Structure 1
Amino acid sequence: MTGTKETGVAVGDAAGPGRLRRTADSVRREAQAVGRAARAAWRGPGRERDLAVQSLKAAGAALLAWLVAREWLEDPMALMAPWVALVLVQATVYSSLVQAGRQFAAICVGALVASGAQAITGDTTGALALSIPVLVLLSNWPRFGDQGIYAATTAVFTIATGTVSAVAVGHRLGQAALGAVIGIAVNALVLPPVHLRDVRENLAGLARETGDLLSTIAADLRDGEWDSQTAADWLAAAGRLQRRLDSLESARGWSRESLRLTSGLLRTLYRAPTVALPSEQEDERFGRVTGHVTALTRTLSVATDENRTPAAPDHTVLSRYGELLELIGNTCRAEADRLEQAGAASEAEPDERAEAEMRELHERLQRALREDAARQGPARTAVLGTLVLQAENLWAELLPEPRTDDTGPSE
């Protein structure tokens, strides 16, 4: 028994410093993340500054609602107005209006149900027991969205303060309406949130990450030392491209919503120029590029599986194919540079030398494809043919015929 206790103490002593180190490391990482966010917000426009501005706007709206209700209207219970104003400074003006309608409806329901429960029971505890379960269940109604819980919290405030008369209920609803008006007005008139930057950043990031992945594949193919694990890493990277594409779709949705109800004069109050966004056709184009890259990595993954019939082409052919992928990857990175130039009206001049090299490599691969078909049979030819097809698809998307201006109108 003694030995067990000593062992337990020793283990505890050893684990204690380890936990402390992990806790200290976690705190340090969080502090560093906060510091990076603060520096980014200070340096210039970006997500961090947007978050800081929205937070300060919400705090300012709450303070203004408190001053109006408490100091100007001399309301001794000026709670509802700043509370509603605080939560209605949303990420877009449109969502502020939608949330205002939902929240006001929830508050009305909560106040009316609480007053009815108080009138029936004549007791604070009984009124809470009667109304809260119903309201918490009702808060899950989809029409309320994520504002349904305010029905239950409003009931708690109403019953706890003992204000159940018609005048008191009307007073609380008026306070909620006042807070909603102030919150929406602050959000719409003070640096109205317009989310345009994320679209360009995500689109440029998708193009750059695609180029980096193609360059990685090209280097591995030229070195000749790639296996099933390498192919699995390529597939995982292609999956990350798909997640970036999902982020781009989400950013595009936020951009559309943030431009609703903020046209004209309101948009001129925005903290940064609302430069033209890349066309939504760019999203579709790089969506197709992502699909082609994913198909390419899957083909290479199949070629590494010894249990499958198709076999990879020889190293010389794959080395040429890697050179072609490297040139296509460079084109992707050039596209990323173009997209990062906010407001650029036209794409960069095409690299004629790179295009000539790609055409030459493509012709050599086509010859190798024909030679493989005659010499090594259809199994090895199938892999090379599929790889060449995916490269041609990428080439067609990234080096199309000369296009007109591909940037949309200033939104």
Structure 2
Amino acid sequence: MISKPKLGRLLPALRQAVTGHRLLFAAKTAAAAGLAWYLAPLMPGTAASYPYYAPLGVLVSMHPTVAASAKHGLQSLLGLGLGIAMAFAVTTVTAPNALAVAVVVGLGVVIGGLPRLGSASEWVPMAALFVLVLGYSNAQGFSFAYVLQMAMGVAVGFAVNWLVFPPLHLEGIDPAIDRHQRALSKQLRDMASAMTESWPPDHEEWASRSGELARTTTDVRTTVQAAKLSAKANPRSRRRAGRLPADLAGCARWNG
């Protein structure tokens, strides 16, 4: 039986997770994964034998913004290419064994540490390991299937995210600014009251409210960044072209 304190913490977490945006995102991801699985057997050659990589490609490309979907999808494919190339180099000199696995994973982690790789860094050692262990007997055919199915899944995920209610995170702008305005107004009123009191002033809340102002300022900045990112490559931003510049401009005034 869940105690009341734990239930009190659980319910807000559930409300935060089960939002309209999250449910729509989950539905889009599920539909894209199902579509990728349906298309996977239609891929040419040996790729049809590895359909499970297509939904995996969907998962790596589905992100809360269209721009992030494109970025992470392409970075993941770059990581696959690097990992596969490294695995090919290792398989030319040794069969899969403990030493070979250690080498490809270690080299993959090192290569993944190169700057500006982003999501690719996670896929370099993973792709190398899969090619070495699962595709050693037919490394060329397995690598072709792996990349093709993942690329198809990435394309499907991006297409669904771009075409079906592409996320445009503007609804948080006004509430974030309102919270910051209220906190700032209260701070100024308290400071004005403190100026008329004897020293040390009895009205000292203003001196300890820096944390609240920092939080509301951070909320505004986060909202601005999310709105700008969601508008990139988003077809809905063109349909809302009349409001979007005003929304972002109003938000930017509080982002300084």
Counterpart of 2:77, as a letter, is F
* 1:180 paired to 2:151: no
> Is the counterpart of residue 31 in structure 1 residue 10 in structure 2?
yes
Return the match for 2:106 from 133, 151, 154: 133
SS of residue paired to 1:137: helix
Q: Are the aligned partners of 1:66 and 1:82 in contact in 2 as well (CA < 8 Å)?
A: yes
- Counterpart CA distance in 2 for 1:217 and 1:267 is 44
- How many Å separate the matches in 1 of 2:74 and 2:218? 29
1:206 counterpart = 2:185: no
Query: Residue 76 of structure 2: SS of its match in structure 1?
Result: helix
User: Does the 8 Å contact 2:166/2:234 carry over to 1?
Assistant: yes
Q: Any conservation in 2 of the 1:110–1:150 contact (CA below 8 Å)?
A: yes
1:81 counterpart (33, 36, 54): 54
Length-normalised TM-score, structure 1: 0.53
CA distance in 2, matches of 1:190, 1:274: 21
Once the 2 structures are TM-superposed, how far is the Cα of residue 229 of structure 1 from its aligned partner? 8.7
Equivalent positions of 1:307-346 (< 5 A) are: none
**Which of 116, 125, 128 matches 1:143?**
116
Q: 1:28 to 1:76 in 2, by over 3 A?
A: same
Quote the Cα distance in structure 1 between the aligned partners of 2:247 and 2:96.
62
Question: Does the C-alpha gap of structure 1 residues 102 and 35 become closer, same or farther in structure 2, counting only changes over 3 Å?
Answer: closer
Partner of residue 67, structure 1: 38
For 1:255 and 1:98, how far apart are their aligned partners in 2?
17
Structure 2 SS opposite 1:148: helix
Once the two structures are overlaid, the 10-residue window that deviates more, 176-185 or 54-63, is: 54-63
Q: Which runs of 5+ in 1 are unaligned?
A: 1-19, 42-47, 289-411
Quote the Cα distance in structure 2 between the aligned partners of 1:262 and 1:205.
28
**Kept in 1: contact 2:135–2:142 (CA 8 A):** no
Counterpart of 1:278 (choices 247, 250, 254) is 247
Give the share of equivalent positions with the same residue, in percent. Answer: 21
Instruction: Count the aligned residue pairs.
Output: 251
Asked if residue 112 in structure 1 is aligned to residue 85 in structure 2, the reply is: yes
Name which of 257, 263, 268 aligns with 2:229. 257
Closer, same or farther: CA 142–54 of 1 in aligned 2, 3 Å:
farther
The one-letter code of the counterpart of 1:158 is V
CA gap 1:151/1:226 in 2 versus in 1, 3 angstroms:
farther
**Relative contact order (alpha carbons < 8 A, sep ≥ 6): 1 or 2 greater?**
2
Superposed CA deviations along residues 282-308 of structure 1, whole A, max 9, x for unmatched, are: 643x567xxxxxxxxxxxxxxxxxxxx
When residues 206 and 174 of structure 1 are mapped into structure 2, their CA distance, relative to the original with a 3 A threshold, is same
Distance 1:129 1:197 in 2: 48
Q: Is 1:98 aligned to 2:71, yes or no? A: yes
Letter paired with 1:159: L
Measured after TM superposition, the shift of residue 187 of structure 1 is 0.8
CA spacing shift, 1:175–1:226, aligned 2, 3 Å = farther
Distance in 1 separating the partners of 2:6 and 2:116: 40
Amino acid at match of 2:110: L
Find the partner of 2:23 among 36, 41, 52: 52
| Cα distance, 1:165 vs structure 2 | 2.6
> Distance between the aligned counterparts of 2:111 and 2:159, measured in 1?
29
What code does the residue aligned with 2:6 have? V
Secondary structure (helix, strand or coil) at the match of 1:75 reads helix
**Equivalence for 1:122:** 95
Query: Which region of structure 1 is more displaced relative to structure 2, 58-67 or 127-136?
Result: 58-67
Residue 27 of structure 1 aligns with an amino acid whose one-letter code is: K
Which residue identity lines up with residue 28 of structure 2 in the other structure?
A: K
Q: Residue type of the partner of 1:177? A: A
How far apart in 1 are the matches of 2:11 and 2:72?
A: 34
The letter for the 2-side match of 1:83 is L
- Asked if 2 retains the 8 angstrom alpha-carbon contact of 1:118 and 1:159, the reply is yes
Q: Which has the larger radius of gyration?
A: 1
Q: Shift in Å at residue 216 of structure 1? A: 5.0
